[in-house]
Chains A and B, each alone.
Chain A
Amino acid sequence: MAIDMITAEIIRNYLETVSEEISKTMERTAVSNVYNEAHDYSCGVFYHDGTEASLLARAAAMPSHIFASLISVQTIFDYFEGDLEDGDVVIVSDPYFGGSHAPDWTVMKPVFHVGQPVFFPGVRAHMLDVGGPVSGGYNNMARDIWQEGFRIAPMKVHRRGELQRDVWDLLVANSRVPDTTKGDFSAMVGGCQIGQRRIIELIDKYGIETVLESVEYILAYSERLLRDQIESWPDGRYEGESILDQDFAGTEDVPVRVTIEVAGRNLSVDFSGTHEQVAGFVNSTPGNSASHVYAQFAGVCPDVPVNSGFFRPIRCNFPAGTVVNAQAPAPVGNCTVCIGADIGQATMNALERIVPERVGCAEIDLTIVLTMGKDRRYGEEMFINFDYLASPTSASGAYGQDGWGTWSPLFCALYLTTVEMMEVQAPFLYRQAEYAIDTAAPGQWRGVPGFHMIRDQTEDMVDDGKVNVLVQMNRHPLQGHVGGRPGVGNHVILDLGTPQEERIDDWAFEHPIGSGRLLFAQSQGGGGWGDPLKRDPDAVREDVVDEYVSVAGARRDYGVVIDPETLEVDREATRSLREGGPEVENEA
């Protein structure tokens, strides 16, 4: 019987709504501001046909979570080999069991039909702390996986509907913030249970046969649409590259190289020639690597629903023993944002040669500022804070659109935590948190301006506070495209304005911090798109009025002459400058 496409579309959208509902459950019931403020988690619905797992639907999600979760689902299914039962809830985190890095927990609940697990609503979330030697899990001195945090092989947290208390206690015991972990973990489980309920309602309404036919339609539809796109691209081999500043263990300039080959309706993405795996904690697992590749294609093909059907035409090769497919027990703690961003950039760099009018930065470049200490307001309870305000901007320009807001489009599921909530949840006082002038990467369409933050700590912070800083994209910032300029680069300054002031271009470990010890962070914006000299002068004027660009910057970077008094464009001078004027430089 031919599938009723209208019903199939209803079911496809229903599953996406289920994902959204799981997400809202998580957001509204989680304890940590990493979830209820920053939304650093992802939710989706997966399907297993007995052989292979597929992603069917996802809520607004982090690509490095949700796409990588596919491998976790497959791993769980293989691991339990028919031992899954109705009422089970399963957790896994280990990077070498399909995970990304130790803090990313994946929780799934199988939905059964006629004794077989068919659907898996799931949540992947970055837990605030998972034990290990360093609070927050980012141990830049890790040289093996055991130095990063508690490793979780697939385990049942619920068995046939019954909480396995010993497993629960084990997971909570290996966190420095057990009460937060309990609350967040409960939220993840609750989200999965909501997902299960809704999927059962779907099956009850339409019948399993119709739902399964729709599943195949959902996957085939996306596959067909993407293959149609690929077919429209010129056949050939296209290369791209991105360089990671360093591995935090002494190796500098780690290149990620990719070759995309288009052949008819097929496409391969080959990372041969990429740097071998490194001593530092920036190695990536295949799941994480694939997630960043898929994210770029999702960015250049925004009209195609992203699910496993979308992934089918994309054949990835991650050579074993390279930094994009490290072998155990290599450390991987910073792979989701460090080397992950370079995997994405290299791919987008290659795509620029295929579909230049569609490219832009779809990556994230978090400078990690982790603060740990005790807060007098809460009985000197220990806190661990991940400060998203240290690195909130990475949105690039794209054809027809300036970068705006904060993070790049595919990471816009991540919300910027409000200053007010940060000051409630940690003993901080923000002195500055704003766009910075002359930091937007120039382009015909510019990147979002960079961001400057100055943060103090209040007297409520007990004396032994410490901060860990990990800077990336300092020397190799986010790339521009099609002639657009790169971002200005990230850096941090500790003890700003004192004789001990220290600029951090790479990392700092357990630096003392407290009241009066200001921390400054510059976050670059994403790269520009297109030649800055082609930017509409009126748009440059708007940027000057908005104080994104200075009068001098308008001249220097865009060749636009603006009267400093009237802020009006001198069109003759601009034309003259652009046609034969001096070189423009980005000195931001």
Chain B
Amino acid sequence: MSPEPTSEIGQDALTALCTEMSRITESGSQSATLSDVLMDPGAAICDGQGRVLACSSVRHLAPFSSVARACAAGLSFPVEAQSVVLLNDPFGGGTRVLDFYAIHPVEVEGAEGRWMTASRCTAADLGGNCFGGYNPTATEVWAEGARITPLRVFARGAWARETLACVTLNSRTPRLFVSQLRAMIAAVTTVGNQLSEILAELGQEPGSVAARQLDAAAELMNRSRQDGSLGGDGGPATAPVRSSAGEDSGQVTVEAQLSDGRLVLDLSGSASAAPGYTNATRTTTVSAALAVLFPADEGAAAANDVLLESVEVITQPNTIVDAVYPTPTMCAELAVAPAVRSAVSAAVGGSEPQEVLDGAILGADGRLAEGLADELRADEARSSAKGGKPWQ
């Protein structure tokens, strides 16, 4: 049966809205970190149970799912309509202290529970012992930057000036940081406010849109398995973990098997947590695994919770792939994550993925790193000249 055009539009609408949120975050921010270097903004739309219905990138699927489910399950404080909750806590479903997530609960007419629009970005600095957060001597998360547990930064339609000011006070680049946060909040509120209207214009019931979004992903999954593009002989496959300084920090070990239609990746044989900042949170590990299994260039447009549910990732706490509080994790993307991708790829018989992130941060000739450092220093000087009052 041919897909019904309106249904297709409805399915694509959520994904398109995620793209729009990412663009707002990127364009509204003054940060080269977002716009030029990492191209790292992300966005998602989640339902009332915290399931991700659409996401801008598979890379960000796991953390969005994690934080959205935590919000849906209930935070320690009431989240009123027209509020935005901000967090970065690696041990609260996040990835690293510089990775921020903004969650905006949205009343969608006809939907069960409150949906959520969510955005993410990587900040340039959040205090800690090293400018830019990458602290090779860190043995605890506090040496990397401030932990932001779920915090209302936008409440009842207005800026929560004091909490926003306190968060930005802990950044060496407050002007840059404020612009990023404002862009994220603008993204989730702008799209959130349109959500009901867009779905109504499409004549779509929120529940059925959500269901179709998830079904589309499931169909993709089934097709992929029939093509044999998932699964291999199962491993175990091992990949070494190296820090950005090239030091050996242990190894990631993956065993893969298919079980009842799900792919099971067992990483419990991975090395114990390293003393330094190369460890990954479980969320980072799952993200890395998904990036291999559902590469962006192979039409995994419907990145949502179905992809997560199709893969069971087994980790042991206090290993390099499942860091526990208060382990530092800033270098996970450069160390453990590539090793996870490599090991998963080998275990399921796929090709070696490209490690785009490494080059963007620490280019072989150091040029990008220097340029970024110069920008951050200039921004700090401008912030200091303004008297360090980020709320003004």
Q: What residues of chain A have their CB less than 8 Å away from a CB belonging to chain B?
A: 79-80, 94, 96, 131-133, 139, 144, 146-147, 150-156, 164-167, 169-170, 173-174, 176, 328-329
Enumerate the 8 nearest inter-chain pairs by beta-carbon distance, A residue then B residue, closest first. Answer: A133-B129, A146-B127, A165-B77, A133-B143, A131-B142, A153-B166, A165-B76, A173-B147
A153-B129 contact, Cβ under 8 Å, with A165-B77, A170-B151: no
Tell me if B128 is interfacial: C-beta within 8 Å of chain A: yes
Give Cα A139–Cα B163 distance, bound, in whole angstroms. Answer: 26
- The residues of B that contact A174 with a CB separation of less than 8 Å are 142, 146-147
Contact with A along B132-174 (1 / 0, CB 8 A): 0001001010110011111110000000001101100111100
Residues of chain B within 8 A of A139, CB atoms compared: 129
> Given A328-B388, A329-B172, A329-B384, are A166 and B76 also a contact pair (CB < 8 Å)?
yes
Question: What number of residue pairs across chains A and B have CB atoms under 8 A from each other?
Answer: 87
Given A147-B129, A173-B89: A164 touches B165 (CB 8 Å cut-off): no
Instruction: Verify A156–B149 contact, CB threshold 8 A.
Output: no
Residues of B within 8 A of A329 (CB): 172, 384, 388
Q: With A165-B76, A170-B148, A170-B151 in contact, is A155–B166 under 8 Å at CB?
A: yes
B356 CB within 8 Å of chain A: no
Q: When chains A and B are docked, how far (Å) is the Cα of A304 from the Cα of B149?
A: 47
- Closest partner residue, chain B, to A168 (CB atom): B76
Contact assessment for A132 and B77 in the assembled complex, using a CB-CB cutoff below 8 Å? no
Contact A166 B142 (CB under 8 A): no
In the assembled complex, the CB of A445 is this many whole angstroms from the nearest CB of chain B, namely 47
Kindly state the separation between the CA atoms of A41 and B377 in the bound complex, as whole angstroms.
37
Once bound together, how far apart are the Cα atoms of A154 and B161, in whole Å?
A: 10
Q: Are B128 and A166 in contact (CB under 8 A)?
A: no
Interchain CA distance A132-B170 in the complex, whole Å = 11
CA distance A155 to B165 in the complex (A): 9
Contact B172 A144 (CB under 8 A): yes
Question: Assuming A146-B127, A153-B166, A170-B148, what are 19 further A-B pairs, CB within 8 angstroms?
Answer: A80-B162, A131-B146, A132-B129, A132-B143, A133-B142, A144-B172, A146-B128, A150-B146, A150-B170, A151-B166, A152-B169, A155-B163, A165-B75, A166-B76, A166-B150, A167-B151, A170-B163, A173-B89, A173-B147
CB proximity of B370 to chain A, nearest CB, Å: 20
CB distance from B234 to the nearest CB of A (A): 38
Contacts of A153 in B (CB 8 A): 162, 165-166, 169, 391
Contact A133 B166 (CB under 8 A): no
Contacts of A133 in B (CB 8 A): 128-129, 135, 138, 142-143
- Taking a contact as CB atoms under 8 Å apart, the answer to whether A166 and B384 are in contact is no
A150 to B149, CA, bound (A): 13
Inside 8 A of A154's CB, which chain B residues have their CB?
A: 162
The smallest beta-carbon distance between A128 and chain B, in angstroms, is 14
User: Counting CB contacts under 8 A, is B366 at the interface?
Assistant: no
Cβ contacts under 8 Å, A169 to chain B: 76, 149-150
The interface residues of chain A lying within 8 Å CB-to-CB of B295 are: none
Q: Tell me if B384 and A156 are in contact (CB < 8 A).
A: no
A-B contact pairs, 7 of them (CB 8 A): A131-B147, A146-B172, A150-B170, A165-B77, A166-B152, A328-B384, A328-B388
A327 to chain B, nearest CB (A): 8
What's the nearest-Cβ distance from chain A to residue B341, in Å? 30
* Contacting pair B142 A132 (CB below 8 A): yes
A150 to B170, CA, bound (A): 7
Contact B163 A167 (CB under 8 A): yes
Residue from the set A151, A156, A328 with the largest chain B CB neighbour count within 10 Å: A151
Contacts of B146 in A (CB 8 A): 131, 150, 174
Contact A176–B140 (Cβ < 8 Å): yes
CB-defined contacts of A166 to chain B, threshold 8 Å: 75-77, 85, 149-152, 163
Name A's interface SS: loop
Q: For A146, what are the chain B residues with a Cβ–Cβ distance below 8 Å?
A: 127-128, 170-172
Residues of A within 8 Å of B143, CB to CB, are 132-133
CA distance A147 to B169 in the complex (A): 13
Residues of B within 8 A of A (CB): 75-77, 85, 89, 127-129, 135, 138, 140, 142-143, 146-152, 162-163, 165-166, 169-172, 326, 384, 387-388, 391
What residues of A have a CB within 8 angstroms of the CB of B152 in the complex? 166
Residues of B within 8 A of A176 (CB): 140, 142, 326
For the complex formed, measure the closest distance between the CB of B123 and the CB atoms of chain A, giving whole angstroms: 13
Taking each of A80, A94, A147, A153, which has the highest tally of chain B beta carbons within 10 Å of its own beta carbon?
A153
A92, closest chain B residue (CB): B166
Asked whether B128 lies within 8 Å of A147 as measured between CB atoms, the reply is yes
CA of A448 to CA of B265, assembled, Å: 69
Q: A133-B128, A165-B77, A329-B388 are in contact. Are A151 and B148 (CB under 8 A)?
A: no
A402–B49 Cα gap in the complex (Å)?
72
Residues of B within 8 A of A173 (CB): 89, 147-149
CB of A14, distance to nearest CB on chain B (Å): 33
Bound: A151/B142 CA distance, A: 12
The smallest beta-carbon distance between B149 and chain A, in angstroms, is: 5
Report A-chain residues with C-beta under 8 Å of the C-beta of B384: 328-329
| Nearest neighbor of B79 in chain A, beta-carbon distance | A166
Tell me the bound Cα distance from A132 to B388 in angstroms: 19
Residues of B near A131 (CB, < 8 A) are 142, 146-147
Contacts of A167 in B (CB 8 A): 151, 163
Alpha-carbon separation in the docked complex, A153 to B143 (Å): 20
Residues of B within 8 A of A165 (CB): 75-77
A165 to B143 CA separation, bound complex (whole angstroms): 25
A94 adjacent to B163 (CB under 8 Å): no
- Chain B residue nearest to A175 in the complex (CB): B142
Min CB–CB distance A254 → chain B (angstroms): 23
A56 to B163: give the CA distance in the assembly, Å: 30
Cα separation A164 to B149 with both chains bound (whole Å): 13
Distance (whole angstroms) from the CB of B131 to the closest CB of chain A: 8
Question: Are A151 and B127 also in contact (CB < 8 A) when A166-B151, A169-B76 are?
Answer: yes
Alpha-carbon gap, A291 to B162, bound state (A)? 27
B286 to chain A, nearest CB (A): 23
Residues of B near A147 (CB, < 8 A) are 127-129
- Judge whether A155 and B148 touch: CB under 8 Å: no
**A151 and B129: CB pair below 8 A?**
no
Q: What is the minimal beta-carbon distance from B65 to any residue of chain A, in angstroms? A: 21
Q: How far is the CA of A153 from the CA of B167 in the complex (A)?
A: 9
Asked whether A152 lies within 8 Å of B128 as measured between CB atoms, the reply is: no
How long is the Cα–Cα vector from A151 to B138 in the complex, in angstroms?
19
What distance in Å separates the Cβ of A51 from its nearest Cβ neighbour in chain B?
21
Q: Tell me the minimal C-beta distance from B157 to chain A in angstroms.
A: 16
Shortest Cβ distance from residue A74 to the other chain B in the assembled complex, whole angstroms: 15
Chain A residue nearest to B143 in the complex (CB) = A133
Which one of B147, B151, B162, B170 lies within 8 Å of A151 (CB-CB)? Answer: B170
Cα-based distance from A541 to B97 in the complex (angstroms)? 64
Closest CB-CB distance, B190 to chain A, in whole Å? 23
In Å, the complex CA distance between A146 and B380 comes to 12
In whole angstroms, how far apart are the Cα atoms of A164 and B162 in the complex? Answer: 12
Task: Name the residue of chain A whose CB is nearest to the CB of B78.
Answer: A165
Which of A94, A156, A164 contacts B77 (CB under 8 A)?
A164
Task: For A328, give the chain B residue with the smallest CB separation.
Answer: B388
A106 CB, min distance to chain B CBs, angstroms:
14
A164 vs B163: C-alpha distance when bound (angstroms): 11
Q: CA separation between A329 and B151, bound complex, in Å? A: 25
Note all chain A residues with C-beta closer than 8 A to B387.
328
Closest Cβ neighbor of A141 among chain B residues: B129
Q: Specify which chain A residues have a CB less than 8 angstroms from the CB of B76 in the assembled complex.
A: 165-166, 169
Q: Complex: how many Å from CA A139 to CA B143?
A: 11
Task: Report A-chain residues with C-beta under 8 Å of the C-beta of B140.
Answer: 176
Least Cβ distance of A365 to chain B in Å? 28
Residues of B within 8 A of A164 (CB): 77
Distance of A154 Cα from B391 Cα, bound (Å): 11
B236 to chain A, nearest CB (A): 32
Residues of A within 8 A of B149 (CB): 166, 169-170, 173
Roughly how many angstroms separate A144 CA and B135 CA in the complex, as a whole number? 15
Q: Complex formed: what's the CA distance from A173 to B92 in Å?
A: 11
Tell me the bound Cα distance from A156 to B138 in angstroms: 31
Kindly state the separation between the CA atoms of A132 and B129 in the bound complex, as whole angstroms.
7
**CB-nearest residue of chain A relative to B166?**
A153
Instruction: Report A233 CB to chain B, min CB distance, Å.
Output: 38
